[in-house]
Amino acid sequence: MSPLIETIHAVGLLTCFALLATSRIGACIRWLSFQGILFGMVPLIVHDDGLTARAMLLAGGNIALKGIVFPWLLLGLRARADFNREVQPFVSFVMSILCGILILALSVWLTQEMKPALAKAPFVMLDSSIFLIFIGLFLMISRRNALMQVIGFLVLENGIFVFGVITVVGTPLLVELGVLLDAFVGVFVMGIAIYHITREFGSMDVDRLTELRG
């Protein structure tokens, strides 16, 4: 199974860099969908006990939600705001990619430090998960557009999901489904917020929210 895992790991890293470099929202959403399907397959292949019902449920749920439902919702939101299809970064694309490389180095170092804590798991995926978490945060910090905030949040959720699947063995299924539910609710709420932001300010620039400060 190891080559498959290595492939997913490598392609996953590339999708993150693609998200950092893309300037159009539609493309970002499609990269996100691809990433969701890719990492959705992790539960099926990462554990030695193979295709259990639980793994299938998790994988299926993840692929459905992050690969199909969320991108569909995001495309709908983008359609309603038919201006500003640009990503509008604070940090320029070149700087973003350089930061991405630094973040990758940091994740690998952290994984090395955390190695003794894990009992059994492919450590290469641990790299990916931490990298995904940091890239998600970075996207939320460095992009003005509200839709990019949601995309960053979903990347973060991907990272947490992978981390959970590979390190935590033996928690009730409820916890992991709870994580998925959390993502679902988060996107729902953010969708409503974006709708109101666009209605109020006529743009999706989240920085305009400072005008509300009392």
Partner 1 sequence: MLEFTAAILLLAFGGMLAIVLYPRAGLCQLAGQTGAVLGSASGLVAALHVLVTGDAISLSSIWHMPGGSLQLEIDALSAFFLLPVFGLSIVTGLYGRSYFAGHRDIASAASWFHLNMLTATMALVIAARDGLLFLLAWETMALSPFFLVIFDDRKAAVRHAAWTYLVAAHLGTAFLLVLFVLLGTIAASSDFAAYGAALKDHQALRSSVFLLALIGFGVKAGIVPAHVWLPEAHPVAPSHASALMSGAMIKVGIYGLVRVLTLLGTPEPWWGWLLIGVGASSGVLGVLFALAQHDLKRLLAYHSVENIGIILLGIGIGVLGLAKGMPLLAVIGFASGFLHVLNHSIFKGLLFLGAGAVGRAAHSLELEELGGLLKRMPWTGTFFLIGAAAIVGLPPLNGFVSEFLLLYAGFLAVLQPAAAVAVAGLIVIVILGLIGGLAAACFAKAFGIVFLGSPRSAEASEAREVARPMRASMAVLALLCIAIGLGAPLAVASLAGVVAQVTGATVATASAQLAIVTRPLALAVSVFVFLIAVAALAWALRARRLAVASVRRGPVWGCGYLFPSPKMQYTASSFAQPLTTQFHLLIQNREAFVPPQGYFPAASSYASDSGDPALHLLFVPTFRWFDRVVTRLNVIQHGHIHVYILYVAATLIALLIWESL
CB-CB contact of 91 with 148 (8 Å): no
Q: Which of 95, 114, 168, 189 binds partner 1 (CB under 8 A)?
A: 114
Q: Which of 50, 53, 119, 210 binds partner 1 (CB under 8 A)?
A: 210
User: Tokens at residue 12, please?
Assistant: 């996953």
User: Tokens at residue 178, please?
Assistant: 């709870």
Instruction: Check residue 57 for interaction with partner 1 (CB under 8 A).
Output: no
Residue 5 vs 89, nearer CB to partner 1: 89
Q: Residues 133 to 152: which contact partner 1 by CB under 8 A?
A: 134, 137-138, 140-144, 149
Q: Which of 110, 121, 179, 180 binds partner 1 (CB under 8 A)?
A: 110
Residue 10 vs 192, nearer CB to partner 1: 192
Residue found by looking up tokens 């790991």 in the block: 9
Binding mask 149-188 for partner 1 (x = CB under 8 A): x---------------------------------------
CA distances (Å), origin 12, targets 1, 41, 93, 170: 17, 12, 19, 26
CB of 47 to partner 1, least distance (A): 25
| Backbone region of residue 149 per phi and psi (left: phi > 0; alpha: psi in -120 to 50; beta: other values) | alpha
Rg (CA), the chain: 17
Instruction: Check residue 19 for interaction with partner 1 (CB under 8 A).
Output: no
Nearest Cα neighbor of 156 from 56, 32, 52, 53 is 32
CB of 112 to partner 1, least distance (A): 9
CB of 89 to partner 1, least distance (A): 10
User: Tokens at residue 153, please?
Assistant: 């949040």
CB of 171 to partner 1, least distance (A): 12
Please tell me what DSSP assigns to residue 115: G
Q: Measure CA of the first residue to CA of the last residue in the chain; give whole Å.
A: 56
Instruction: Check residue 120 for interaction with partner 1 (CB under 8 A).
Output: no
Q: Which of 68, 98, 102, 106 binds partner 1 (CB under 8 A)?
A: 106
CB of 97 to partner 1, least distance (A): 18
**Rounded CA gap, 66 and 69, in Å?**
6
Q: Could you tell me how many residues make up the chain?
A: 214
Residues in contact with partner 1 by the rule CB under 8 A: 90, 106, 109-110, 113-114, 134, 137-138, 140-144, 149, 206-207, 209-213
